[in-house]
Amino acid sequence: MQIKTEDPNLRLALIALFLASPVFAGDADDTMAALLGHCVAPLETTSELGAGLTRAAPEMEAKLLDGKAAKILRTENPRVVVVAHDSGDTCEIMALGMTISEFDTAFRDWLTTQQDYRVDATAKMADDVAGGAFIARKLPDAGYVQAFIQTHPDSGFIGITVSRVASSAAADELFGQ
């Protein structure tokens, strides 16, 4: 994955994120790389969502956005797209044709390197049943970066919504507050 940005601080933050994360290769790992590099890191640093990615064709956006105020950005993997909401506070990953258990492995491998992120106890992502997970990280400003993950093995769909929020009952519960 090539990082294209004019902002040297964003570039350094993204490089640091990738160096601190497991090496990614394959569909599941491309999904994790998009999640971390184009949603999580920018939301943590209040940088541009999906920086350096190419915008999808207007007809693709019209079909997938269904009226949302956002833009669809294409990654190097044609089965993984980033949805950057105009608010700048929400980002989505849509991945199709994925093996859910491979994504779960990549996700959990990443989690082992993260001390600041917590995952809900009911998180389950398997190849035989729809599932998902919720994760959150408390930010220094008392807000959170949180992500809701949904998996649908019949279609190989992984949908992830990541947001930067001032408050969250679900995140408060994860952090025992």
Find the helix packing angle between 100-111 and 27-34, rounded to 10°: 50
Higher pLDDT residue, 82 or 17?
A: 82
Polymer length in residues for the chain: 177
3-state secondary structure of 45: helix
Q: How many other β-carbons are positioned within 10 Å of the β-carbon of residue 163?
A: 20
pLDDT at residue 10, rounded to an integer: 46
Instruction: Give the CA distances from residue 13 to residues 34, 56, 174, in Å, rounded to whole numbers and listed in that order.
Output: 14, 25, 26
103-154 tens-digit pLDDT: 999 999 999 998 899 999 999 999 999 999 999 999 988 899 999 999 999 9
Closest among 173, 150, 41, 154 to 104, alpha carbons compared: 150
C-beta separation of 151 from 103 below 8 A: yes
Any idea which residue has 């809900």 for tokens?
120
> The sheet that has 144-152: what strands, in order across it?
54-55, 70-74, 80-85, 90-95, 157-165, 144-152, 131-138, 117-119
- pLDDT for position 64: 86
Condensed to tens digits (0 to 9), the pLDDT of residues 59-75 reads 989 888 888 899 999 99
**What does pLDDT average to over the chain?**
87
> What's the whole-model pTM score?
0.84
